[in-house]
Amino acid sequence: MSEMDGPAGSPVLEINELRMVYGGRAVVDGLTFQVKRGEIFGLLGPNGAGKTTTLSIVEGLVRPVSGGARVDGFDVRRHPFEVKARLGVQLQSSSFQPELSVEQIVRLYAGVYGVRLTREGIGRSLGTIGLGEERGKRFKQLSGGQQQRLALSIATIHSPTLLLLDEPTAGLDPQSRRALWNRIEGLRSGGSSILLTTHSMEEAQAVCDRVAIMDHGVLITVGTPAELISKHKDDPDVLAVAHGQVTLEDVFIGLTGSEIHD
Ligand code: ADP
């Protein structure tokens, strides 16, 4: 293993002094944080906080004004191919051809990522996401939860080191949401580290080892959900919004303001 493959214990993602400006306004403004190997890390923030821009920089889709990001030790600008090979990104369901069958989609993306899959292998992997009976169905015939499970399965077809999930459970019913949390934990057990964005404090608490709260492009606080509650439970802004015992949501609203961002 070369030094750049990232020895155990080294961060799987390093965001360093990242800055992005649109129309003269800094939307990511000196952002620094790390995701540890084997961690499920939640990036929380109101709409417009800069979460998607940050993920887009890690994916190499957006070039930052300054600062940088490293995946498994590889700089996202200087080593885009090494980064892409290690990164799994969940595509929006609109990215898939609605007329293709489930099996055709799996074969297509296995080809894109250079992964060899036998007919039996495809059957097994569809079975693990509850789509064993659906392999001949067209994508557009799947339910929302099924489409979402297929999208996650495709994002992880090449066993990525780091998986980026932008609001993975938005729009899912409670059963599908819980099934997805189990799947995310399963992917972590399988060796992936996960960075997800969410608006759900319940989700952050249920699956994230650590969370970062950001707003206006700036990191406000980072820690385990329990640490954030204990660290901020006596902040006047948090107490002002709490109803009874302070929750992670109270901390979030206290630190980012209760005005609606949209
Ligand atoms: P979040 O994901 O936290 O909701 P975003 O990263 O999508 O936040 O957006 C942060 C800010 O940057 C928002 O004010 C958004 O309008 C702005 N923004 C994002 N992408 C662009 C773009 N391509 N051009 C101009 N402004 C953008």
pLDDT of residue 156: 92
Residue 169's φ and ψ, nearest 5 degrees, are: -110, 10
The band of 8, judged by pLDDT with boundaries at 50, 70 and 90, is: low
pLDDT, tens only, 169-222? 888 889 889 989 999 999 999 999 999 999 999 999 999 999 999 999 999 999
The ligand 1 atom at the shortest distance from the C-alpha of residue 55 is 6
Residue nearest to atom 16 of ligand 1 (CA): 48
pLDDT of residue 79: 97
pLDDT of residue 93: 66
Mean pLDDT (the chain, rounded): 92
Segment among 71-80, 150-159, 215-224 with least mean pLDDT = 150-159
For ligand 1, whether the C-beta of 46 sits within 6 Å is: no
Q: And the tokens for 51?
A: 């979460």
The residue ranges of DSSP E strands in the chain, in sequence order, are 13-22, 25-35, 40-44, 66-71, 74-75, 87-89, 162-166, 193-198, 210-215, 218-223
- pLDDT score of 171: 82
Q: Is the pLDDT of residue 5 over 90?
A: no
Range scoring the smallest mean pLDDT among 13-22, 54-63, 162-171? 162-171
Whether the CB of 22 sits within 6 Å of ligand 1: yes
Instruction: Give the separation between CA 262 and CA 142, rounded to whole angstroms.
Output: 30
pLDDT digits (tens, 9 = 90+) for 24-40: 999 999 999 999 999 99
- CB-CB contact of 224 with 209 (8 Å): yes
Cα angle 230, 203, 151; round to 5: 150
Q: Atom of ligand 1 at shortest distance to CA of 214?
A: 3
Percent of residues, the chain, with pLDDT higher than 90? 79
Query: Which has the closest alpha carbon to 151: 133, 174, 172, 173?
Result: 172
Q: How far is the CA of 27 from the centre of ligand 1 (A)?
A: 7
Residue 193 vs residue 259, higher pLDDT: 193
Checking 70-77 for CB contacts under 8 A at 24+ apart, the result is 70/11, 70/13, 70/14, 70/16, 71/12, 71/13, 71/161, 71/162, 72/4, 72/5, 72/6, 72/12, 72/161, 72/162, 73/3, 73/4, 73/5, 73/6, 73/10, 74/4
Can you give the pLDDT at residue 113? Answer: 87
Ligand 1: centre distance to CA 3 (Å): 35
Residue nearest to atom 27 of ligand 1 (CA): 22
Whether the CB-CB separation of 84 and 39 falls below 8 Å is answered with no
pLDDT of residue 1: 39
For ligand 1, say whether the CB of 47 is within 6 Å of any of its atoms.
Answer: yes
Residue 3 clears pLDDT 70, i.e. is over it: no
So what's the pLDDT on residue 95? 77
What is the position in ligand 1's atom list of the atom closest to the CA of 49?
3
CA of 195 to the centre of ligand 1 (A): 19
Residue 112: predicted pLDDT: 87
pLDDT digits (tens, 9 = 90+) for 229-250: 999 999 999 999 999 999 999 9
